[in-house]
């Protein structure tokens, strides 16, 4: 298919200067990720780095012959220690590999983006005061507390702390306000889905990428992305074929035609990856893409490391 490829630290001074303030916040269980303010500069200054930003779409299909092409659940791992969404987060690798992830950013509350979170937290628990931090908007945190960690579906991990060592800390994200963790700056940006949803701009000082999460046609994400220095790649959802445009509109997702329209909102030379391709519509989506070749477009393959 022409034009389509299948599969193909410091970030400046912290915002909190007082060690005493940090100590008191830690004791109170307040999230200590460095949080900026809406309207701050688009990203950290450019600098040379020894290691590229590495991004992996975690597999969510079995057997392995299907895992690279069939994406049922959504989780992206970044540089071993950060994850975007937790759909498949508890299903990959072993205990040591999972426990390296310490920061999980949830884009929205739908099951395919949070399903693996309880199993992951159980596996990644270290029994130390430094627990995994899960970030989300108010809708996400409310859903996790009410629908997931409610003592029925799963124990209340937010308040379960054997010997003072919690399983998880929940941290509220605000639109446009960046968070700095593990050498990355992540800025949540509202997109257009059926529930409150964040896309993310992710920078490491030498490059940047964009994650759309689940969305229909949107605008603020692209407005902010155009201001990013050293933008390398965009991970944009593509859920339905053109024949199901009405379903895509109702559910606030994209078709190949809409995907192309979103690309036009960001007229920059970057790598474009289609993600969130629903397996039962995969062949129809590929057929639509064949009818309008998009130079350089890649279908992201699960389980493969991409470096930027």
Residue 63 has which token pair? 């057997």
For 4, phi then psi, to 5°, come to -120, 130
Asked whether the beta carbons of 70 and 62 are under 8 A apart, the reply is no
Closest Cα partner for 135 from 95, 86, 98, 87? 86
Spatial distance between the Cα atoms of 50 and 272, rounded to a whole number of angstroms: 24
Spatial distance between the Cα atoms of 186 and 176, rounded to a whole number of angstroms: 9
Q: Is 38 exposed, middle or buried (0-12, 13-18, 19+ CB in 10 A)?
A: exposed
Domain boundaries, the chain: 52-307
Percent of the residues in the chain that have a pLDDT greater than 70, as a whole number: 84
Average pLDDT for 292-300:
89
Residue at token pair 């969404």: 85
* pLDDT score recorded for residue 269: 92
Spatial distance between the Cα atoms of 136 and 104, rounded to a whole number of angstroms: 9
On the question of a cis peptide bond just before residue 63, with omega within 30 degrees of 0, the verdict is yes
What DSSP string describes 269-282?
--EEEEE---GGGH
pLDDT band at 66 (very low <50, low <70, confident <90, very high): confident
Q: Does 52-307 carry CATH code 1.25.40.10?
A: no
What DSSP string describes 75-107?
-EEETTTEEE--SSGGGSS-HHHHHT--EEE--
Strand ranges across the sheet with 271-275: 4-6, 297-299, 271-275, 231-237, 208-211, 198-203, 184-190, 179-181, 34-35
* pLDDT score recorded for residue 36: 52
pLDDT digits (tens, 9 = 90+) for 155-198: 999 999 999 999 999 999 999 999 999 999 999 999 999 999 99
Spatial distance between the Cα atoms of 33 and 305, rounded to a whole number of angstroms: 26
Strand ranges across the sheet with 54-57: 168-172, 132-136, 103-105, 82-84, 76-78, 54-57, 305-307
Provide the angle, in degrees to the nearest 10, between the axes of the packed helices 256-264 and 282-291: 50
Look at strands 198-203 and 184-190 and give their pairing.
antiparallel
What are the CA-CA distances from residue 105 to residues 85, 175, 200, 250, 255 (Å)?
6, 13, 9, 26, 25
CB atoms within 10 A of CB 194: 14
DSSP label of 17: -
* pLDDT score recorded for residue 45: 45
E-strand ranges in 238-300 read 271-275, 297-299
Does the pLDDT value for residue 26 go beyond 50? no
Asked whether the beta carbons of 59 and 217 are under 8 A apart, the reply is no
* pLDDT score recorded for residue 16: 37
Average pLDDT for 53-68:
90
Which is more confidently placed, 249 or 69?
A: 249
pLDDT digits (tens, 9 = 90+) for 218-261: 999 999 999 998 999 999 999 999 999 999 999 999 999 999 99
Q: 3-state class of 117 per DSSP?
A: helix
Q: 3-state class of 299 per DSSP?
A: strand
pLDDT band at 50 (very low <50, low <70, confident <90, very high): low
């Amino acid at each position: 298919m022409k034009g389509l490829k299948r599969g193909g630290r410091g970030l400046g001074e912290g915002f909190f200067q007082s060690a005493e303030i940090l100590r008191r916040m830690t004791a109170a269980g307040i999230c200590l990720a460095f949080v900026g303010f809406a309207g701050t500069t688009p990203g950290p200054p450019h600098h040379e780095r020894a290691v590229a930003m590495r991004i992996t779409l975690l597999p969510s299909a079995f057997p392995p012959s299907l895992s690279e092409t069939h994406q049922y659940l959504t989780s992206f791992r970044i540089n071993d220690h950060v994850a975007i969404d937790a759909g498949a987060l508890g299903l990959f690798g072993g205990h040591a590999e999972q426990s390296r992830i310490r920061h999980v950013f949830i884009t929205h509350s739908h099951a395919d983006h949070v399903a693996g979170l309880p199993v992951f937290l159980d596996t990644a628990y270290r029994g130390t005061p430094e627990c995994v931090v899960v970030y989300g908007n108010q809708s996400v945190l409310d859903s996790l507390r009410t629908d997931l960690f409610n003592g029925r579906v799963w124990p209340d991990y937010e308040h379960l702390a054997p010997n003072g060592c919690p399983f998880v800390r929940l941290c509220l994200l605000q639109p446009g306000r960046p968070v700095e963790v593990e050498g990355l700056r992540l800025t949540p940006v509202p997109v257009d889905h059926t529930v409150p949803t964040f896309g993310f701009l992710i920078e490491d000082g030498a490059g940047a990428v964009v994650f759309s999460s689940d969305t229909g046609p949107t605008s603020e994400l692209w407005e902010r992305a155009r201001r990013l220095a050293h933008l390398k790649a965009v991970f944009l959802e593509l859920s339905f074929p053109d024949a199901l445009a009405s379903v895509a509109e109702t559910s606030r997702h994209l078709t190949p035609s809409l995907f192309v329209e979103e690309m036009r909102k960001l007229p920059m030379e970057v790598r474009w990856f289609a993600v969130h391709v629903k397996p039962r519509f995969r062949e129809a989506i590929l057929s639509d893409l064949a009818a309008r070749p998009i130079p350089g477009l890649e279908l992201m393959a699960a389980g493969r490391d991409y470096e930027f």
